[in-house]
C-alpha cells in the first residue's frame, strides 16, 4: 500500500476544526445571496485573492467578515453538514468541532440558532456517515473576560450539547490568565477545557493554559519546543497538541512545510495530532494536511500510524471508543 493510500485508509479523528473556518467561498456566496447580504468581494475569485495572510491577525480580519453571512439555523446547518461530508471523504470517524458563539451573538444572532444548526447537522452526519462528534465552544480572547463570562452563562441551557470550552482568536497580548475566572467557572459547570496557546504566542502562554486554565489539550502549541522544561511537563501530564500544518504555513508560523516541527514534537514523545484548523482558508482538509506534511518531512508509515492513533488517544471519546478505533488502526497496520 502506498503511504498516500495508507493515509486515506486510516480512520482518523479531527480535534482542531473551527466550523466557521470550513465555510467554503462557494457556500459563503450562496448563503450571502439568500440572506441578501452584500459581501465586500465582487466574486468568488476576488474573495480568494484576499486569502493571502501575513500572520494570524490578517487572517482573522477576513475570517470574521466571512462569518457575517451566517444568519439562520439553516446556514449553520449547511456549513456544518458540508464539513462533515468532506470529513467522511477523508475517513474521519470522530470530530471535535469548535464554534465561536460570540462572532454571532455580537450580531444579534441567538445562541440557540447557532447551536441548533450545528448540532442538528452533527446528528445527521452521525446517522448518515457514522461520524461521532463533540462540540467545543470557544471564547474570543480579543474580547473581555466579562463578555466570555456572559457567553458561558448563555451556554448553560445547551450544556448537554457542549463538552468543553476553548480559547481562540488573537493570541499575542491576550494571555490565558485573562480568562482564569471564566475557565474556573466553566470547570465547575462540568465543562472540559482546551486553549489555543503557543501558536504565535510565547511558550509561557502554554504554561499559563496548563496551570491557570487547567486545559486537557493545547491547540497548536508548536512553540513548546523552545522550552525544554515545558516539553517535559507536557509529556509528564500527557497533554496532547492539536497541530495544524497548513495553517501554520499560511499564517507564517513556519516558512514552509519542510520547516515544520511536528517530527521533532513526535521525537520528544509529545502526543501530537494533525488537524485542518480552517480548511476553507488554508488550502486543505485533514488528508491534504497528512499528505502534505508526510511529503515535506519524509514521514514514514510508522509516523503516520502514530499520528492517526494519537488523534483518538487525544480525543474526548470514552476509553471504550478509543480502544475500538485504535484496534481498527492496528488491523490496517498488520495488513501492511
Ligand atoms: N480562529 C480560527 N482559527 C484560529 C487560529 N488558527 N488561531 C486562533 N484563532 C482562530
Ligand atoms: Zn485554531
Q: How many residues does the chain have?
A: 336
- The residue whose CA is least distant from atom 10 of ligand 1 is 169
The Cα–Cα gap between 315 and 163 comes to: 11
Q: Are 60 and 250 within 8 A, CB to CB?
A: no
Q: Three cell numbers at 91? A: 475517513
Each residue's pLDDT tens digit, 148-198: 999 999 999 999 999 999 999 999 999 999 999 999 999 999 999 999 999
Catalytic site residue 199?
yes
Tell me what percent of the residues of the chain surpass a pLDDT of 90.
99
- Ligand 1, closest atom to CA 278? 3
Question: Which ligand is the nearest neighbour of the Cα of 142?
Answer: 1
Mean pLDDT, residues 100-119: 98
User: In the chain, helix, strand, coil percent, each to 5?
Assistant: 60, 15, 30
Tell me what percent of the residues of the chain surpass a pLDDT of 70.
100
* Radius of gyration (C-alpha) of the chain in whole angstroms: 19
Mean pLDDT, residues 35-52: 95
Q: Are 3 and 301 within 8 A, CB to CB?
A: yes
Mean pLDDT, residues 58-87: 98
- The residue whose CA is least distant from atom 8 of ligand 1 is 169
Mean pLDDT, residues 259-268: 98
Each residue's pLDDT tens digit, 204-215: 999 999 999 999
Question: Which ligand is the nearest neighbour of the Cα of 200?
Answer: 1
* Entry pTM: 0.98
Mean pLDDT, residues 313-329: 98
**Pair type for strands 217-220 and 192-197:** parallel
Residue 29 pLDDT grade (very low, low, confident, very high; cuts 50, 70, 90): very high
CA 168–ligand 1 middle distance (angstroms):
5
CB atoms under 10 Å from CB of 326, counted, come to: 15
Q: Looking at residue 336, what is its pLDDT?
A: 87
Three-state secondary structure call for residue 169: coil
Mean pLDDT, residues 87-91: 98
**Ligand 1 pocket, residue 222 CB under 6 Å:** no
Mean pLDDT, residues 103-111: 98
Q: Looking at residue 274, what is its pLDDT?
A: 99
**Beta-carbon contacts of residue 233 (< 8 Å; ≥ 6 apart):** 207, 210, 239
Residue 22 pLDDT grade (very low, low, confident, very high; cuts 50, 70, 90): very high
Q: Are 191 and 165 within 8 A, CB to CB?
A: yes
Q: Three cell numbers at 120? A: 442538528
The Cα–Cα gap between 74 and 113 comes to: 9
Mean pLDDT, residues 307-334: 98
* Angle of the 180-189 helix axis to the 145-155 helix axis, nearest 10: 10
**Cα-based distances in Å from 335 to 9, 10, 89:** 12, 12, 22
The Cα–Cα gap between 317 and 315 comes to: 5
Q: Which of 199, 200, 208, 212 is catalytic?
A: 199
The Cα–Cα gap between 157 and 329 comes to: 37
Q: Which of 14, 17, 57, 59 to mutate to test the pocket of ligand 1 (most atoms within 8 A of CB)?
A: 59
**Domains of the chain by start residue, with CATH:** 3-334 (3.20.20.140)
- The residue whose CA is least distant from atom 1 of ligand 1 is 169
Three-state secondary structure call for residue 120: helix
pLDDT of 201 over the 90 cut: yes
The Cα–Cα gap between 247 and 275 comes to: 9
Each residue's pLDDT tens digit, 223-255: 999 999 999 999 999 999 999 999 999 999 999
Residue 14 pLDDT grade (very low, low, confident, very high; cuts 50, 70, 90): very high
Q: Which of 98, 199, 250 to mutate to test the pocket of ligand 1 (most atoms within 8 A of CB)?
A: 199
Mean pLDDT, residues 288-315: 98
* Contacts by 24-33, CB closer than 8 A, 24 or more apart: 24/82, 24/280, 25/280, 27/78, 27/79, 27/82, 28/66, 28/69, 31/69, 31/70, 31/71, 31/75, 31/78, 31/79, 32/69
**Cα-based distances in Å from 301 to 14, 27, 154, 289, 291:** 19, 36, 45, 15, 12
Mean pLDDT, residues 108-135: 98
Q: Are 126 and 133 within 8 A, CB to CB?
A: yes
The mean pLDDT value of the chain amounts to 98
Place of cell 467545543: 136
| Torsion angle of C-alpha atoms 141, 143, 146, 151, degrees rounded to 10 | -80
Amino acid at each position: 500500500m502506498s503511504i498516500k493510500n495508507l493515509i486515506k485508509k486510516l480512520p482518523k479523528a479531527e480535534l482542531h476544526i473551527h466550523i466557521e473556518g470550513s465555510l467554503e467561498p462557494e457556500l459563503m456566496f450562496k448563503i450571502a445571496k439568500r440572506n441578501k447580504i452584500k459581501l465586500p468581494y465582487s466574486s468568488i475569485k476576488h474573495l480568494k485573492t484576499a486569502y493571502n495572510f501575513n500572520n494570524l491577525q490578517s487572517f482573522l480580519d477576513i475570517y470574521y467578515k466571512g462569518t457575517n453571512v451566517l444568519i439562520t439555523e439553516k446556514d449553520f446547518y449547511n456549513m456544518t453538514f458540508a464539513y462533515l461530508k468532506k470529513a467522511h471523504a477523508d475517513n474521519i470517524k470522530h470530530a471535535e468541532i469548535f464554534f465561536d458563539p460570540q462572532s454571532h451573538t455580537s450580531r444579534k444572532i441567538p445562541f440557540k440558532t447557532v447551536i441548533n444548526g450545528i448540532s442538528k447537522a452533527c446528528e445527521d452526519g452521525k446517522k448518515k456517515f457514522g461520524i461521532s462528534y463533540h462540540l467545543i465552544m470557544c471564547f474570543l480572547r480579543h474580547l473581555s473576560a466579562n463578555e466570555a463570562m456572559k457567553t458561558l452563562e448563555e451556554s448553560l441551557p445547551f450544556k448537554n450539547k457542549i463538552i468543553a470550552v476553548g480559547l481562540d482568536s488573537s493570541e499575542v497580548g491576550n494571555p490565558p490568565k485573562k480568562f482564569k475566572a471564566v475557565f474556573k467557572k466553566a470547570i465547575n459547570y462540568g465543562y472540559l477545557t482546551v486553549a489555543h496557546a503557543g501558536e504565535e504566542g510565547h511558550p509561557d502562554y502554554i504554561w499559563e493554559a496548563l496551570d491557570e486554565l487547567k486545559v486537557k489539550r493545547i491547540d497548536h502549541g508548536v512553540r513548546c519546543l523552545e522550552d525544554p522544561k515545558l516539553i517535559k511537563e507536557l509529556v509528564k501530564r500527557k497533554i496532547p497538541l492539536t497541530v495544524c500544518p497548513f495553517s501554520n504555513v499560511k499564517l507564517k508560523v513556519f516558512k514552509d512545510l519542510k520547516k515544520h516541527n511536528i517530527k521533532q514534537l513526535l521525537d520528544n514523545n509529545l502526543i501530537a495530532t494533525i488537524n485542518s484548523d480552517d480548511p476553507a482558508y488554508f488550502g486543505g482538509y485533514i488528508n491534504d494536511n497528512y499528505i502534505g506534511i508526510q511529503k515535506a518531512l519524509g514521514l514514514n508509515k510508522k509516523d503516520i500510524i502514530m499520528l492517526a492513533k494519537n488523534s483518538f488517544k487525544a480525543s474526548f471519546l470514552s476509553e471504550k471508543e478509543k480502544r475500538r478505533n485504535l484496534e481498527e488502526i492496528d488491523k490496517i497496520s498488520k495488513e501492511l
